[in-house]
Structure 1
Amino acid sequence: MRAQDETPPVTGVSRLLIDGRLVGTSSTFGSVNPATGEVFAEAPDATAAEAEAAIAAARRAFDTTDWATDKDFRVRCLRQFHDALVEHKEELRELTIADVGAPRVLTYGAQLEEPIGLVRYYADLLAGHPLTEELGESEVRGQKHRRWVELEAAGVVGAIIAYNYPNQLALAKLAPSLAAGCTVVLKGAPDTPLVTLALGELIARYTDIPPGVVNVLSSSGSEVGELLTTHPDVDVVTFTGSTATGRKIMAAASGTVKRVFLELGGKSAMVLLDDADFATCAQFAAFTVCSHAGQGCGITSRLLVPREKHDEIVAMVAAVFPHITVGDPASPDNYMGPLISAKQQAKVDGLVRRAVDAGAKLVAGGESSGPGFFYSPTLLANVDPDSEIAQEEVFGPVLAVIPYEDEDDAVRIANNSIYGLSGAVQSASDERAIAVARRIRTGTLSINGGNYFAPDSPFGGYKQSGIGREMGVPGLEEFMERKTMAVVVK
């Protein structure tokens, strides 16, 4: 195992990982702590030339080493990586809180510790996953033929992630692509670069992953990402981010006909059927939309309620909001922290103001505060299902309550979206809730509070919420090619 003891600790000076070496750059950009609004560290600003070097290293590692074919070695390296993540999780926790603005409580779940489990999951899955499938013999023109299918690595992967859950997003791409035998160039988000760079440092210092197999970049602009999506030596692009950017990536990647996986936006609906426990559901809806200040693609930001119960349910949700603690994410007492940036804060506020102008009722919240980029938990009532606030992804702690007439109308409104990432259905009857859930065109659904999110659960969306699935067995096979072969039986 390599141990580059001369390198700084995980929370020290950040460096790129290119071809097995941790390297600095000639220029840097500031990483802002969203809870204070102040730059707290500098990140290396990779150039196109450095991105080219990373791609070349990944291509060389894939084409000239046995990484793609040595399954046992990959399992061992993934387990080393998992052990390093566990050993350094407290350093990563503090870095995630500062870089992402993630509340401390979330780092014990989806912001850090659950993603670490992804690496172990894929190491264990790979160890027992069959890479061949026998199709049996066939007879053609008097000869018998043995036929089979082999799974093999898809090649060089360009992985581009969003800012909101950088540990989850990076590891959900790194772990399965490495398990599959691919080599990777991973680009962190400009708003949260340090967490992703720290993962590269752990790989360089504490694993036997060969030089070039994993390369980690950060940059303040779009040039590096554009290069990854168009470069002929990149075989696969996997991207998490906005639908608008996903469309551009699909178009850019078409020139080289790359395989493209996209995990994009969402405008998920929580449907309260008329027999649901409204008080419990109101609490669930309020806390869900405020998780990580609403900065989650699968968060249920539309609450669909029976029209005759609209005002009653709105009052219940409004009564929950004062109990949601907002403030310094480093404090274990705070449930909700800041938005990622002043730009995002202004975007959320603009959407809320326009919603009110369009006829929605502002029941609670709708206020920015500082220092940092905080936005109060916000409740909008009597929202038109066709309005901007009901159609656009807000990525903020804003819940839009929409009344419906009957069950068919609720399903129609839930499906009235370009997105189809997640959702929820609440009813006194599991059978009734499941029947409604099956009519909603979305990739994941919580039924009566059920939690689907886990390393073995495929995650992804319908429609413009994306293409492909992350996690689970499909998340591994997204990074593999199927090769069908046959030989004459003698």
Structure 2
Amino acid sequence: MNPETRLLIDGELVNAAECKTYPNINPATEEVMGHVADAGPEDMDRAIAAARRAFDDTDWSTNHAFRLHCLQQLKAGLLANMEELKRQISAETGAPLGICGQAGPQCELPIEFIDYTLASLPRYQWHRNIGTNEIMGGNNERLVEKEAIGVVAAITPWNVPLQINLAKCVPALAAGCTVVLKAAPDTPWCASALGRIVAEHTDMPAGVFNVITAQDPVQVGEQLVTDPRVDMVSFTGSTAVGKHIMASAAQTVKKVFLELGGKSANIILEDADLAGSLLSALAVCFHAGQGCALNTRLLVPRARQAEVEALLKTYFGLIHYGDQSSEQDIMGPLVNARQRDRVLSYIEKGKQEGARLLLGGGIPENLPKGYYVQPTVFVDVTNDMTIAREEIFGPVLCVIAYDNEDEAVRIANDSPFGLSGSVWAGTLDRGLEVARRLRVGTVNVNGGNFYGPDAPFGGYKQSGIGREMGTEGFEEYLETKTIAIAV
């Protein structure tokens, strides 16, 4: 697969300072595929210093045309390496090869999404005149300027690593920021590959883009978040870690973007086509349920619960998994043994709290290798159970019955999270009415799909702060300055 094993610091591909490496393990086979640089504090300090210097001492932040040129080169470099990237992403995430193509967000689609930034950047209004006003005895002409926020720490997860690496780094670079990308320990090659492409395919000045991989994310991550030379932290991951980052970053009052957990509800209304809409429940198996926006709570009319159970038994029988090279499968293993054990512990908790296991619930007997968990469905779930409150991040569906539409909305909103949701209704108007009552950042109605480079993505409540993608995502990396001129 020819993976990149080095860090990118100050324009050079380098080994870690102490030449340490750590193994990269394939979650489908449990085998070591190769190694990657294991960075320490000295490496992180060099990366931050390089990003600070590149922002302060070059014209990267103000030369919009040059940035566009470099991002065009980045897109071309990604396309030239796409087939190799697919194999690497599939190998280190465990995702079947098919969802690394057009059928999923692992590789091809996020590379295509760069086109949105390339088209938007030349049109963006960096300056605007808001006119004159008279105040305190004088007339003033006011200008509003948009400027890059500075050095950005991009801290990314392992579930869809290339997608989120690009969703953070491309807008940040387009805005004129410099970046230190800290990869998730389980998926380092998705970040180190970007480092090599930037170094070999683009004219980005040294220090504009830096990549750090490390086996222990805590030490170098804390260093990155607390360093006063860093102006902003953009983090995607668990809510618990996001809270810690927010508290740590507060010591230097730096801006924080957080895209955190979810416990999204899929509401099937009484007048919806039950057989058709229930197929959407299979999405909980996509990438083994390792997606923050996946709908893990299924809300169904109580009077039709028996029909729901029969259909789910049939539908979940359609899910095949275990072949990492498959172009059709949507499910692979969990990313590591720790995550597999965590999911299994939630399944046991569901049983203990009185939920009824409809199907799945364990490790598949036919797959002795790999961190697989069977597609699992619980019924008779109440919204106060642990499996309905906490993010499991595995192929586990909780079916919750409701008596009327108001109760369905109440249950959906009764969550510490507010990332996403879905509504199925007999009419579009009714579906939109319910969608607008949900306290979430994204909603799909009757099979819609919000995912796209121009669609803002993020959550309410403990699902995060700010938005990724779209104009809103680009502007996360900008400061606003108002200038007044006496006239």
TM range (shorter): over 0.9
Distance 2:335 2:11 in 1: 31
Question: 2:444 touches 2:450 (CA, 8 Å); kept in 1?
Answer: yes
Deviates most, 461-470 or 96-105:
96-105
TM-fit CA distance, 1:333: 3.8
The equivalences for 1:86-235 within 5 A come to 86-108=79-101, 109-221=104-216, 222-235=218-231
Q: Secondary structure at the match of 1:152?
A: strand
Q: Quote the RMSD (CA, aligned, Å).
A: 1.0
What's 2:40 paired with?
Answer: 47
Which residue among 213, 234, 256 is the counterpart of 1:260?
256
Distance 2:469 2:437 in 1: 24
The reply on whether 1:66 has 2:59 as its aligned counterpart is yes
Question: 1:139 touches 1:145 (CA, 8 Å); kept in 2?
Answer: yes
Q: Secondary structure at the match of 2:437?
A: coil
What's 2:385 paired with?
Answer: 387
What's 1:361 paired with?
Answer: 356
Q: For the structure 1 residues 252 and 389, does the alpha-carbon distance in structure 2 shift closer, same or farther, using more than 3 Å as the test?
A: same
Q: Secondary structure at the match of 2:317?
A: helix
Aligned length: 479
The equivalences for 1:437-456 within 5 A come to 437-456=435-454
Question: 1:11 touches 1:92 (CA, 8 Å); kept in 2?
Answer: no
TM-fit CA distance, 1:480: 0.3
Corresponding letter in the other structure for 1:31:
N
The reply on whether 1:20 has 2:7 as its aligned counterpart is no
The reply on whether 1:84 has 2:77 as its aligned counterpart is yes
Q: Secondary structure at the match of 1:380?
A: strand
What's 2:484 paired with?
Answer: 486
Q: Percent identity?
A: 49
Corresponding letter in the other structure for 2:293:
G
What's 2:307 paired with?
Answer: 312
Corresponding letter in the other structure for 1:432:
R
CA deviations 1:420-472 (Å, max 9, x no partner) are: 00000001111001111111100000011111110000000000000000000
TM-fit CA distance, 1:365: 0.7
Question: 1:75 touches 1:124 (CA, 8 Å); kept in 2?
Answer: no
TM-fit CA distance, 1:133: 1.7
Distance 2:437 2:4 in 1: 50
TM-fit CA distance, 1:397: 0.6
Q: Secondary structure at the match of 2:451?
A: coil
TM-fit CA distance, 1:268: 0.2
Corresponding letter in the other structure for 1:17:
L
What's 1:431 paired with?
Answer: 429
Question: 2:334 touches 2:340 (CA, 8 Å); kept in 1?
Answer: yes
What's 1:274 paired with?
Answer: 270
TM-score (norm 2): 0.97
CA deviations 1:257-289 (Å, max 9, x no partner) are: 010000000000000000111111111112x11
Deviates most, 21-30 or 231-240:
21-30
TM-fit CA distance, 1:335: 2.5
TM-fit CA distance, 1:118: 2.7
What's 1:6 paired with?
Answer: none
Distance 2:28 2:194 in 1: 23
Unpaired runs of at least 5, structure 1: 1-9
What's 2:396 paired with?
Answer: 398
Deviates most, 383-392 or 120-129:
120-129
TM-fit CA distance, 1:473: 0.3
Distance 1:328 1:309 in 2: 35
What's 1:341 paired with?
Answer: 336
Corresponding letter in the other structure for 2:82:
K
TM-fit CA distance, 1:141: 4.8
Q: Secondary structure at the match of 1:374?
A: coil
Q: Secondary structure at the match of 2:472?
A: helix
The reply on whether 1:285 has 2:307 as its aligned counterpart is no
Deviates most, 122-131 or 326-335:
326-335
Corresponding letter in the other structure for 2:76:
D
TM-fit CA distance, 1:142: 4.9
TM-fit CA distance, 1:41: 1.1
Distance 1:13 1:482 in 2: 38
The reply on whether 1:245 has 2:236 as its aligned counterpart is no
Question: 2:3 touches 2:88 (CA, 8 Å); kept in 1?
Answer: no
Q: Secondary structure at the match of 1:359?
A: coil
Distance 1:11 1:322 in 2: 37
Corresponding letter in the other structure for 1:309:
R
Deviates most, 410-419 or 310-319:
310-319
Deviates most, 411-420 or 120-129:
120-129
The reply on whether 1:418 has 2:413 as its aligned counterpart is no
CA deviations 1:148-179 (Å, max 9, x no partner) are: 10000000000100100001110000010001
Q: Secondary structure at the match of 1:290?
A: helix
Corresponding letter in the other structure for 1:305:
V
Deviates most, 159-168 or 136-145:
136-145
Distance 2:5 2:480 in 1: 38
What's 1:30 paired with?
Answer: 23
Question: 1:81 touches 1:119 (CA, 8 Å); kept in 2?
Answer: no
CA deviations 1:172-198 (Å, max 9, x no partner) are: 000100010000000000111111110
Q: Secondary structure at the match of 2:258?
A: strand
Distance 2:68 2:108 in 1: 20
CA deviations 1:406-428 (Å, max 9, x no partner) are: 11110110011100000000011
